[in-house]
Structure 1
Amino acid sequence: MEIRMYIRFVATWRMIIASGIISLIYACACPDEKTPRLSAIVPTEHTLLAVTPSLSLQLTGDTLNKSYPQLRTGKAFPISGFLRVDGIPYRFMGGDSLRISPLAPLSKDTVGWTGKYSFLFPGKGWEQRVYDDSWWSEGKGAFGPVKGYYYPAHTLWGAENIYVRRHIKVGNRNVLKNHKVYVRYVCDDRIKLFCNGKHLLESGFTHQTKCQRLTDEAINQIVDGDNILAAYCRNTGGAALLDFGLYIENKTYADAEPATLKKMNAQATQTQFIFQCGEVELQIDFVSPSLSEKWDMAGWPVGFLSYQVRTENEKEHTVEIMFDVDVEWMFGTRKVDSWVEHDWRFAKSDSLYLAMIAGETTFSCEDNHIILSQNLCARNENKGVLLIGHEEGRTFQYSGENLRPLWNKDGTREVKELMMSVGNRYQKFKTECDELDYRWNIKAFQVGNETFAGAMLSAYRNFMSSHRFVSSSDNKLFCFGDTLGNVREAYKSFPALLFFNRTDWMKGLLEPIFAYCEDIHWAKRYPPYDIGLYPIASKQVKLEDCAIEAAANILMMTTAIIEAEQDFGYADMHWEQLCLWADYLQERMKKMTFPSVGLLEHDDERVKCVLGLMAYHKLVQLKGNL
């Protein structure tokens, strides 16, 4: 087949498929009365709770009570959940335990510690357990600025390099058996850590306390008696800081049995788990109200866990539910504020808010853990809710303006107010989300199978969990990921947004790019690949322009919006830019040479040119028809 014919064939087929999907979506908007029942979806991984891009909980499979949920960065979110039934604890959320006790504490966990140090390279073998450090200087850790610094340092470190040996006495190494051992550290700028000569880690600057588990091989290096934890740190400029210590797992919840998972079901706005805990059944739902179809709730930095217990027999049970969050593991800080406001008990650490109904909740803060618990009565099917809020705390800067998030565009609202608003109506929100999930579940299974449904519903949540919703000065909605105005990421998001008929969010992805090009920031004949990194829109981050891809993708995405809305108004607003980009693709097509053999990849520039121009020709037809 001639290559030009092949290109036209591929392009035409793609447009047919795209049109078919749009038509199918509209057909699904009015399903038949005979609809299948709500089908369970168990994705391989998905966003468990969408709060903010900085605090969205991810889950792999059905591992809610086998491991901790993770943030988008891959860091564990240290939340554990337990249901105590007639005195027997069952773990329904989190891993075994993140609680740790010091073997050799950090400076901020004590009044300091004694170590040997040298600013000059001490020679080979300095990190080994057997080494003569009698000639080294002796100082009190941590090392760094001793006054006016955020961290408690006791010995001044003003040189470029520092070598530190910390002697740790272990009376009986058998206490380490069947326990996890961790090294904790904070450094400015670069650090290398060793235990009895065994290399543990190498890391860059961190102003928060980091924690890393030791391997079994490293633990086996620890002996009875004197051990050496050695560190080399280099300061590349500015203030210098070094602190490190050794910690052991504290099995506070070692007696808790994993609850038996009976059911898991992930839908568009929530994920439901049902656990068997002895003779009591626990249902827990992770609900993201920001996923509702109410436009003003987009980006609300609040999610909640609703729970209820029930039993099939008439026997009364003493039931208590408890949530444990390790705030020091999360933020590297111990500070916890707690207060009661309008019948809600709040606990706040750094940017994380937790809340439960005050009159039914017991609060405590032990070993830098926030613990919230509530007594329940299984016989009466008691219900409750745990609210989770997060405040990112950064102002978005766009075109010389400071723009606020959609939920707080007038600057007068607070996260705790949103949490109370959600908490007071959580059962209503839950019902609305149930109805929404049912509707989208039916449509997803009418279009495809479980794999398709899982992909669409998961993509919907993933989009919410990775984007911020901002209101512009002229009241336009902007949707921003970590890379602002990323054309390729927007293109990947469009199938799911198109399926859910979220043309408002689709426009929110493209609108900042159009505004950027229609202003003085961009003088090129094709759109930018991106417009900056959050929270500042300044200039394109990607070194390569990817001009053809960017122009073709935006033309195709605009066409999808117009066909979905059956209204040419949005394209008409930006018609000059769309024509400019189409002309650019046309010129590039004329300069391209086409091989007579070989297949084309989907991201080949020639294919992108054809698809972009066909999308533009479709826009021209729609302009005349609509």
Structure 2
Amino acid sequence: MHSFGLLSLASFLFAFCVASQVTWKATPFNPSSIPLAVRSPYLSTWLPQGGGNPLNGVWPQHWTGQTVGWAGFIKVDGTAYSFLGDPGIGAPFTKATQKSMEFTSTQSIFIMSCGPIDLNVTFLSPVEPSDLSKQSFPFSYMALSATSTDGNSHSVQVYSDISAEWVVGDNSLAVNWTTVEGDTLVHQVQLQTQTVFAEKDDRALYGSVFYSTTAGSGVTFQTGEDLVVRAQFVNNSVLLNTKDSNFRAIANDWPVFAFAHDLGKIAATPSIPVVVSVGNVHDPAISYIVAGGKLQDRSSLFWNQFSTISDAITSFMGEYLDALARNSKFDAQVQSDAMTISADYAAIVALSIRQTLGATDITISKSNDGSWNATDILVFMKEISSDGNVNTVDVIFPAYPLLLYVNPLLAKYLLAGLFEYQATGQYPNKYSAHDLGASYPKALGHNDGKDEQMPVEESGNMLIMALSYAQKSGDNSQLTTYAGLLDQWTQFLIQDSLIPESQISTDDFAGALANQTNLAIKGIIGIKAMALIAEILGDDKKSSNYSSTAASYVSQWQYLATSSDQSHLTLSYGNSSSWGLSYNLYADKLLKLNLFPDTIYQMQTNWYRTVQQPFGVPLDTRHTYTKSDWQIWTAAIMSDTNARDFFITSVKNAAANGLSSQPLGDWYEARDGTPEAFRARPVVGGHLALLALSSQPASSANGSAPTASAITPNGNAARGFTLPLPFSWLGTVLRRYQSH
């Protein structure tokens, strides 16, 4: 049974059992949870589908698993159908039937059958690699378009609302709200008592949630108790344009914020999309430590373009079709690139992009005169679901392939905060810091040096990432500015990477271990990376010395790390019965170092054939669980395509097995695909490892100061998209919309 490229019987049975619970067409497959509105750590809403919940079979959830009420109804010739959420009201309605679900890199699209009408429900969480100001805007779209399926025309009205549960997970807390009327209708909801930079259960205790649509004929709104507002639409097809002023706790008569749209008579041509947007804004977004222990308030980058949130929302609403076209082209390009590997790989990549970028905030600071400092852009990443740290180096590291593929500037700005903080001298350790702060969104550093200790891991990661960004972008500014820090970390690696002391690595849940073979790989590659950095900086002597050291370490490492029968690399030196995923070899390929001999890659390829499980190869011999990001990294170093494809298909099958209802988890049992604790983590950006190896940027940053918008993208995001748009209905809708 040990053969790459063939699904095990157990894997097949799992897939068959899940598929039998799904009554709709799923493209490319049915994931455990489907991204609906995923743009930031706090705007992260998913459909917990599990083994087969349709869009109208369960309430959407925040990534934490907390309910965020999002309801949708459609009326067709006076008959009401629910298409979103799982509402109960004191009025009669029928549940629409889900006909299909499709997800791409930026969109989740559902076709709901509502009697003689098909309703297209498209959730678009934009990925805007060519404009980081747009990427920083924590808003997402839902668009509704109806089509008659019986050859006749029908009267159609649609309704949607969000509940105050979008604000925070504690339903005992009191909220207030307002509705602003104008060209854009905006419901704004927030806690009555706010605490800046505070969280409860990974939800922010400050900021506001916005639910918006474009005003016009046939558009009505209402706020109030959920049962009352929803029944008003179901019974009357219209809302009352009234505002509930009884501010209260979230669970007290469950206040909701609703819009209704009259689509008129609908025939066989898709109707012009009705668009609503949902956003979650926190200003300031991040508290960041600067020189002298001072704290700097940082805001989302989009504020550089807009003076009010109302202006920003109006702009966002007005460019839906342009955003849809841009993102459909991006989807097509990602699909084209990933399909050169396999269909399973393209599916995994598509599911990973929103999740990774949805863990980030792109920020800007102010100058002393109060103006925005367009030269000071920093990206912050939340270590979602594991411990909530800010810019954890060994979380950025596995996510790095996605950043290099989408836009290397995102990689630069994620590293920048770490470099800047450690360059102030406030961090006392000689190796790289583990993170920028223990609790998001407080990037307060670790001036006591008591962050989680991963000295070889993080030092090697920083060197590898700094060089890979420079190679992709042609921008050597960070190498030049922080040469001293990079050299300091290299000196530490020279001391502790060939024979690492007992310590934890990025897989800290597996425990500390001395003489880790895979950790030594990272340290040695870090030394070689510094050799190339020194060469870039014109220090040939240092480059030669570091290259010699790395080469010497590889020779010694081969002797220490190979099992006594020469069949595989060990997990730790001297333990021939141990082994693990040697995923750190990926950096040798990414940086094009050719530091480790081909015989090592071939040996590992052969070995993994003998230890595979139905859902992949275990992380190491201490446990039977595995990690999806490291499996894809390992796939990228395999010596043949059958070996590569086994890892890819194993990850896809785990994502599609329906054994949970949580957003994509990277940690699960290799034997049966059962997920472990992690969910929605940005490390799934590592699933783009194969794309990062082959992609080349079309232009470089050249060390120049970026502007707040239209920032130069990576070539994969910016080069001309010539593939057709992936959805047959889209072209018709675009033409009809633009004609009005």
Instruction: Please tell me the TM-score bracket, short chain as reference.
Output: 0.5 to 0.7
* 1:457 equivalenced with 2:350 (yes/no): yes
Task: From the superposition, tell whether residues 604 and 336 of structure 1 become closer, same or farther in structure 2 (CA, over 3 Å).
Answer: farther
Task: From the superposition, tell whether residues 275 and 476 of structure 1 become closer, same or farther in structure 2 (CA, over 3 Å).
Answer: same
Tell me which residue corresponds to 1:315.
152
Task: Please tell me the residue identity of whatever aligns with 1:348.
Answer: Q
Q: Greater shift after overlay, 326-335 or 374-383?
A: 326-335
Q: What SS does the aligned partner of 1:47 have?
A: strand
Check conservation: 2:459, 2:490, Cα contact below 8 A: yes
Give the CA deviation at 1:44: 3.0
The structure that is strand-richer by fraction is 1
Check conservation: 2:166, 2:209, Cα contact below 8 A: no
Tell me which residue corresponds to 1:523.
428
Tell me which residue corresponds to 2:443.
537
Task: Please tell me the residue identity of whatever aligns with 2:187.
Answer: A
Give the CA deviation at 1:508: 1.8
Give the CA deviation at 1:497: 2.2
Give the CA deviation at 1:433: 1.2
Give the CA deviation at 1:556: 2.1
Q: What SS does the aligned partner of 1:613 have?
A: helix
Check conservation: 2:403, 2:411, Cα contact below 8 A: yes
**Superposed structure 1 runs of 4+ greater than 6 Å apart:** 600-604
Check conservation: 2:28, 2:347, Cα contact below 8 A: no
CA distance in structure 2 between the aligned counterparts of 1:88 and 1:565, rounded to whole angstroms? 56
CA distance in structure 1 between the aligned counterparts of 2:66 and 2:412, rounded to whole angstroms? 32
* 1:84 equivalenced with 2:75 (yes/no): yes
CA distance in structure 2 between the aligned counterparts of 1:453 and 1:542, rounded to whole angstroms? 41
Give the CA deviation at 1:587: 0.8
Give the CA deviation at 1:582: 1.2
Give the CA deviation at 1:514: 0.8
Q: Deviation per CA, 1:88-134: give whole Å up to 9, x if none.
A: 2222111133xxxxxxxxxxxxxxxxxxxxxxxxxxxxxxxxxxxxx
- 1:473-484 to 2 correspondences below 5 Å: 475-482=375-382, 483-484=389-390
Task: From the superposition, tell whether residues 96 and 520 of structure 1 become closer, same or farther in structure 2 (CA, over 3 Å).
Answer: same
Could you tell me which runs of 5 or more consecutive residues in structure 2 were left unpaired when the two chains were aligned.
1-25, 191-207, 226-254, 367-372, 383-388, 503-510, 538-740
Q: Deviation per CA, 1:298-357: give whole Å up to 9, x if none.
A: 22022111111111344221111111322268554463311212x222222211111122
Q: What SS does the aligned partner of 1:89 have?
A: strand
Q: Greater shift after overlay, 462-471 or 390-399?
A: 390-399
CA distance in structure 1 between the aligned counterparts of 2:318 and 2:153, rounded to whole angstroms? 29
CA distance in structure 1 between the aligned counterparts of 2:341 and 2:350, rounded to whole angstroms? 13
Out of 378, 403, 427, which is 2:266 matched to?
378
Q: Deviation per CA, 1:202-248: give whole Å up to 9, x if none.
A: xxxxxxxxxxxxxxxxxxxxxxxxxxxxxxxxxxxxxxxxxxxxxxx
Tell me which residue corresponds to 1:344.
184
Tell me which residue corresponds to 1:615.
526
- 1:295-314 to 2 correspondences below 5 Å: 295-314=132-151
Give the CA deviation at 1:424: 1.3
Out of 86, 90, 109, which is 1:272 matched to?
109
Check conservation: 1:406, 1:471, Cα contact below 8 A: yes
Task: Please tell me the residue identity of whatever aligns with 1:546.
Answer: M
CA distance in structure 2 between the aligned counterparts of 1:505 and 1:346, rounded to whole angstroms? 31
- 1:178-327 to 2 correspondences below 5 Å: 251-252=89-90, 255-327=92-164
The structure that is helix-richer by fraction is 2
Tell me which residue corresponds to 2:36.
48
CA distance in structure 1 between the aligned counterparts of 2:513 and 2:219, rounded to whole angstroms? 56
Q: What SS does the aligned partner of 1:484 have?
A: coil
* 1:366 equivalenced with 2:203 (yes/no): no
Give the CA deviation at 1:589: 3.8
Task: From the superposition, tell whether residues 526 and 618 of structure 1 become closer, same or farther in structure 2 (CA, over 3 Å).
Answer: closer
Out of 465, 473, 488, which is 1:580 matched to?
488
Tell me which residue corresponds to 1:70.
61
CA distance in structure 2 between the aligned counterparts of 1:410 and 1:287, rounded to whole angstroms? 24
CA distance in structure 2 between the aligned counterparts of 1:56 and 1:435, rounded to whole angstroms? 23
Give the CA deviation at 1:592: 4.9
Tell me which residue corresponds to 1:564.
472
Check conservation: 1:459, 1:493, Cα contact below 8 A: no
Task: Please tell me the residue identity of whatever aligns with 1:85.
Answer: V
- CA-atom RMSD in angstroms: 2.9
Q: What SS does the aligned partner of 1:461 have?
A: helix
Task: From the superposition, tell whether residues 39 and 292 of structure 1 become closer, same or farther in structure 2 (CA, over 3 Å).
Answer: farther
Q: TM-score, normalising length from structure 1?
A: 0.63
CA distance in structure 2 between the aligned counterparts of 1:507 and 1:63, rounded to whole angstroms? 40
Tell me which residue corresponds to 2:689.
none
Give the CA deviation at 1:436: 1.2
Q: What SS does the aligned partner of 2:469 have?
A: helix
Greater gyration radius? 1
Tell me which residue corresponds to 1:442.
336
Tell me which residue corresponds to 1:416.
310
Give the CA deviation at 1:45: 2.6
Give the CA deviation at 1:39: 7.0
Identity of aligned residues (%): 20
Tell me which residue corresponds to 1:163.
none
Q: Greater shift after overlay, 529-538 or 485-494?
A: 529-538
Task: From the superposition, tell whether residues 316 and 39 of structure 1 become closer, same or farther in structure 2 (CA, over 3 Å).
Answer: closer
Q: Greater shift after overlay, 276-285 or 293-302?
A: 293-302
Q: Deviation per CA, 1:34-57: give whole Å up to 9, x if none.
A: xxxx97454333432124321221
Task: Please tell me the residue identity of whatever aligns with 1:504.
Answer: L
Tell me which residue corresponds to 2:286.
396
Out of 401, 419, 423, which is 1:495 matched to?
401
Could you tell me which runs of 5 or more consecutive residues in structure 1 were left unpaired when the two chains were aligned.
1-37, 98-250, 595-599
CA distance in structure 1 between the aligned counterparts of 2:497 and 2:328, rounded to whole angstroms? 50
Q: Deviation per CA, 1:388-430: give whole Å up to 9, x if none.
A: 1222244522222534334345496333222110111211111
Check conservation: 2:421, 2:445, Cα contact below 8 A: no
